[in-house]
A and B are shown apart, each in its own frame.
Chain A
Amino acid sequence: MVFNCGRVVFMRKVLIVDDALFIRLTLKKMLEKYNFQVVGEAGNGIEAIKLYKELKPDIVTMDVTMPEMDGLEAVQMIRNIDGQAKIVMVSAMGQRTMVVKAIESGASGFIVKPFNEAHVVETLNNL
């Protein structure tokens, strides 16, 4: 919760999942400029599920390709735990098929790398 100019603004909690430290950091910095609070970071699908259970974030950003367990599987697992989970796929250009599959498995939207700040914020605000 952030007290913002007389109004109480609820910060939405985000769990960032990506195996590249660099991407996690970029995204985190971007989100923290807006009303998002990054509560956790995971490097693969298995960690993502574990942290999801612990932290119960409002939003999860999920990289498509990761070691141990990839984004698609993780989406399915998390949606099994919580049918209301809001997951945004993070994909590189040209991974449309994966994104489509992820959406079919329950992802709510997607953002593309390289990140366009306006797009990222718009997508996360409209989940």
Chain B
Amino acid sequence: MSENDGRDPMLDLYILETYNLIEELEEIILESEKEKDYKNSIDTIFRIMHTIKGNSAMMFFDNISHLAHSIEDLFDYLRDNSELNVDYPAITDLILQSIDFIKNQLGKIGNNETSDGNPEELVSDIRKQLEIITVETPQESKESKNQADNEEHHYYVSSVKDCNEILEGELQNRLDIRYEVVIFFKEDCGMENIRAFTVIHRLKNLAYDIIYFPEDIVENNETEKVIRENGFRIIFSSKRDMKEIKKSFKGTAFLSKITINPVSEEESCTKIENIEEVKSSLEVVSYREPQIASKNYSSSSESQGKHNMLNVSVEKLDMLMDLMGELVISEVMVTNNPEIASLNLDSFKKSSTHLRKIIDNLQDVVMSIRMVPLAPTFKKMNRIVRDMSKKLGKEVEIVLLGEDTEVDKNIIEHIGDPLMHIIRNSLDHGIEAPEDRIAAGKNSIGKITLQAENSGGDVNIIIKDDGKGLNREKILMRAKEHGLIDKPEGELTDKEIYSFIFLPGFSTKEQVSEFSGRGVGMDVVLKGIEKVRGKVYVDSTLGKGTTITIKIPLTLAIIDGMTIRVGQSIYTIPIMSIKQSFKVNEKDVFKDIDGNEIIMVRGQCYNILRLHERYNIETEVRDIEKGILVMVENEGKSLCVFADELLGEQQVVVKPLPNYIKKVKGIGGCNLLGDGSISLILDIGGLIP
């Protein structure tokens, strides 16, 4: 609950930004590898690494920063030298490994653990790559470029000891004053040589014939130390008087001590007079602790020219969803209030219809906010296919279709792992080795298609491979061994047999492979999908391939429902599942051999399900003519539910049953009614055998 106390609020932003960059990087590198063309991505990769390096250093994650730095160096070089014989495959592997390293560290950081990963091996491998490339190029290195630059800024420089000789050679201009300045910078300010350079640069506005020591402040970083210990010495000529010179030097940042002296030709440069302490104009700065923001970090905008996007915390969205649900209930309580039910209020009715419209629109918008495209989740599979197929020695390509299809954010979180498992299974057990594929007359490159599409109120995610398919007989045998068959064999359809693979402990593989285990895969997949109230179907053709379809309802939270009463209990049936409802006469109902009640409607037979019997509910309504039948349908199968009475249609906010209560077949959740009581929502699929 209060895990974020004491946590730097910038940390979340750092993690988010770095994670986004890493994802972008992975996409780019995989794409480049596929296209076998890296030219267009080198600059982007360089920039991404540069940013990660800076950000990580800022947060003191030096291991990440160090790793990013090494890649940045490599790609900095490649920016100008990409034509060479570069071992891109090796570099790609190193980058992917680095991506994994950083992701791993980010995960630890996100869990408030220390980022203790050691990137040294990776760094040294990356550096080796850079060495290989630089060794092969002609010496057109950046160093020589720098020297060329320095040629232009070549000051007349010599050592301090010879200063007297220099002065003799200078222009004799009596109106000019020659000054000697010695500057000490504040302790710990760092990069004193560059600061010295800044001073010189500024000085050029009011002085000339400038000499300074140490001289090679730009090229030689050792001068940093020299300046720190001995100060920075400048000798220059200027028409300005002492007052003006003092004033101009006073504005130097990080100035600790300065001495300014006019020098004559006779005076030695080393003579020091009038040591002045320059008082810092800055008040004492203490480092203030960043304020600890609330857990919901405020939204920030990114104007990177892609889309106009906003980062919003998921908790805020959840709150919005809950409130939306309450609003829907509230509206019903107002407009269907028993106190005004009998009154004939025209104007009120008009207004409440309008209110209803607005709430419907609001609901649509709120639902759409939480909708997120499947694309990022799908794209993750690229990497998995690439890595695994390499490891297994198989050639596989994955095709993504419909990745712009959107689903509720909640679903995204639960669908990733099941998808991964299914695809790993396909790679491991489905797609054959290249030789086998050729022998079977197939293309040596296996193909996996990952497709998403909207279908009514659901989203279908289809994973199709052109591998060797499922072995019906083997599965049947395994199921028999485990005693999982409850129907006579002849009655089992192929699809039913294939779906045995989802049962716990099921695996026809004798050996456990590194990726898919001994029956650990598919039943976990099923559980994950059931968590988002989805369903899974399997179809296969031996020798040709396997297709797995995941069906997930789009709207988790709000559905249209028909409330019914059975005894004292109230149930809700999703309107989507209802075909019709009707009263019956006893003569229309007959029994089959097993004693099950059946009704005939327009030439079709339907089973009757007495809810009060099924769920052991006490009710006085047992006479088929006193109650009402509701014909419901799910996946092509129908039946008629017998209830006491219909109470009405309404919008219903689906709340899941509490965790403590194990799943009851046929109950898909519950909802709160206007008067505070609870109705159970029927899951028609669970009721139909």
A45 at the interface (CB under 8 A from B): no
> For residue B62, which residue of chain A has the nearest CB?
A114
Q: Check A118–B287 contact: CB distance below 8 A.
A: yes
Q: Check B191–A92 contact: CB distance below 8 A.
A: no
B674 at the interface (CB under 8 A from A): no
Contacts of A110 in B (CB 8 A): 191, 194, 198
Q: How far apart are the CA atoms of A35 and B427 in the complex, in Å?
A: 61
Q: Check A114–B13 contact: CB distance below 8 A.
A: no
B262 at the interface (CB under 8 A from A): no
Q: Check B50–A103 contact: CB distance below 8 A.
A: no
Contacts of A115 in B (CB 8 A): 58
Q: Check A103–B198 contact: CB distance below 8 A.
A: yes
Stretch at the interface among B131-139, B296-304, B450-458, B508-516: B296-304
A80 at the interface (CB under 8 A from B): no
Q: Check A122–B282 contact: CB distance below 8 A.
A: yes
Contacts of B281 in A (CB 8 A): 125-126
Which chain B residues (572-600) contact chain A, with CB distance < 8 Å?
none
B506 at the interface (CB under 8 A from A): no
Q: Check B17–A119 contact: CB distance below 8 A.
A: no
Contacts of A104 in B (CB 8 A): 153, 201
Encode contact with B along A87-127: 1 for CB under 8 Å, 0 otherwise.
00000111011011101100011101111011101110111
Partner of A21, one of B13, B57, B149, B290: B13
B77 at the interface (CB under 8 A from A): no
Partner of A109, one of B190, B198, B302: B198
Q: How far apart are the CA atoms of A108 and B282 in the complex, in Å?
A: 18
A76 at the interface (CB under 8 A from B): no
Q: How far apart are the CA atoms of A101 and B57 in the complex, in Å?
A: 23
Stretch at the interface among A1-9, A23-31, A54-62: A23-31
B60 at the interface (CB under 8 A from A): yes
Partner of B146, one of A20, A67, A97: A97
Encode contact with B along A36-51: 1 for CB under 8 Å, 0 otherwise.
0000000100010000
Stretch at the interface among B92-100, B169-177, B247-255: B247-255
Q: How far apart are the CA atoms of A67 and B55 in the complex, in Å?
A: 16
B484 at the interface (CB under 8 A from A): no
B606 at the interface (CB under 8 A from A): no
Partner of B10, one of A22, A66, A94, A122: A22
Q: How far apart are the CA atoms of A87 and B72 in the complex, in Å?
A: 25
Partner of A26, one of B58, B253, B285, B302: B58
CB distance from A105 to the nearest CB of B (A): 10
Q: Check B58–A113 contact: CB distance below 8 A.
A: yes
Q: Check A22–B13 contact: CB distance below 8 A.
A: yes
Encode contact with A along B265-308: 1 for CB under 8 Å, 0 otherwise.
00000000000000001100101101000000000101110000
B189 at the interface (CB under 8 A from A): yes
B14 at the interface (CB under 8 A from A): yes
- Using known A-B contacts A25-B300, A118-B285, determine if residue A65 contacts B50 with beta carbons closer than 8 Å: yes
Contacts of B186 in A (CB 8 A): 122
Encode contact with A along B350-394: 1 for CB under 8 Å, 0 otherwise.
000000000000000000000000000000000000000000000
B53 at the interface (CB under 8 A from A): yes
Q: Check B54–A23 contact: CB distance below 8 A.
A: yes
Residues of B in contact (CB 8 Å), total 46
- Using known A-B contacts A33-B288, A104-B201, A110-B198, determine if residue A19 contacts B47 with beta carbons closer than 8 Å: yes
Contacts of A101 in B (CB 8 A): 149
- Using known A-B contacts A104-B201, A122-B253, determine if residue A113 contacts B47 with beta carbons closer than 8 Å: no
Q: Check B282–A21 contact: CB distance below 8 A.
A: no
> For residue B13, which residue of chain A has the nearest CB?
A22
CB distance from B115 to the nearest CB of A (A): 15
Q: Check A114–B60 contact: CB distance below 8 A.
A: yes
Which chain B residues (233-254) contact chain A, with CB distance < 8 Å?
251-254
- Using known A-B contacts A100-B197, A103-B201, determine if residue A21 contacts B54 with beta carbons closer than 8 Å: no
Contacts of A67 in B (CB 8 A): 43-44, 47
Contacts of A66 in B (CB 8 A): 47
CB distance from A93 to the nearest CB of B (A): 7
B259 at the interface (CB under 8 A from A): no
Q: Check A114–B287 contact: CB distance below 8 A.
A: no
Q: Check A26–B10 contact: CB distance below 8 A.
A: yes
CB distance from A71 to the nearest CB of B (A): 12
Partner of A122, one of B53, B58, B254: B254
Partner of A117, one of B44, B189, B251, B287: B287
Partner of A43, one of B13, B252, B304: B304
> For residue B46, which residue of chain A has the nearest CB?
A65
Q: How far apart are the CA atoms of A112 and B53 in the complex, in Å?
A: 13
Q: Check B300–A21 contact: CB distance below 8 A.
A: yes
Partner of B58, one of A19, A23, A29, A96: A23
Q: Check A103–B197 contact: CB distance below 8 A.
A: yes
Q: How far apart are the CA atoms of A11 and B254 in the complex, in Å?
A: 22
Residue among B146, B194, B197 facing the most chain A CB atoms (10 A cut-off): B194
B160 at the interface (CB under 8 A from A): no
Contacts of B412 in A (CB 8 A): none
Q: Check A100–B194 contact: CB distance below 8 A.
A: yes
> For residue A97, which residue of chain B has the nearest CB?
B146
CB distance from A14 to the nearest CB of B (A): 16
Q: Check B55–A20 contact: CB distance below 8 A.
A: yes
- Using known A-B contacts A25-B10, A100-B218, A113-B58, determine if residue A92 contacts B50 with beta carbons closer than 8 Å: yes
CB distance from B439 to the nearest CB of A (A): 50
Q: How far apart are the CA atoms of A55 and B282 in the complex, in Å?
A: 27
B555 at the interface (CB under 8 A from A): no
Q: Check A123–B54 contact: CB distance below 8 A.
A: no
CB distance from A92 to the nearest CB of B (A): 5
> For residue A19, which residue of chain B has the nearest CB?
B51
Nearest first, the 8 A-B pairs at minimum CB distance are A126-B253, A118-B285, A114-B58, A20-B51, A22-B17, A123-B253, A114-B57, A92-B54
Q: A22-B10, A96-B191, A123-B253 are in contact. List 10 more A-B contacts (CB 8 A).
A: A29-B10, A47-B303, A65-B50, A67-B47, A92-B53, A96-B193, A103-B201, A117-B287, A122-B254, A122-B285
Could you give 9 example pairs across A and B, Cβ below 8 Å?
A: A22-B10, A23-B58, A65-B47, A92-B50, A97-B218, A103-B198, A103-B201, A109-B253, A110-B198
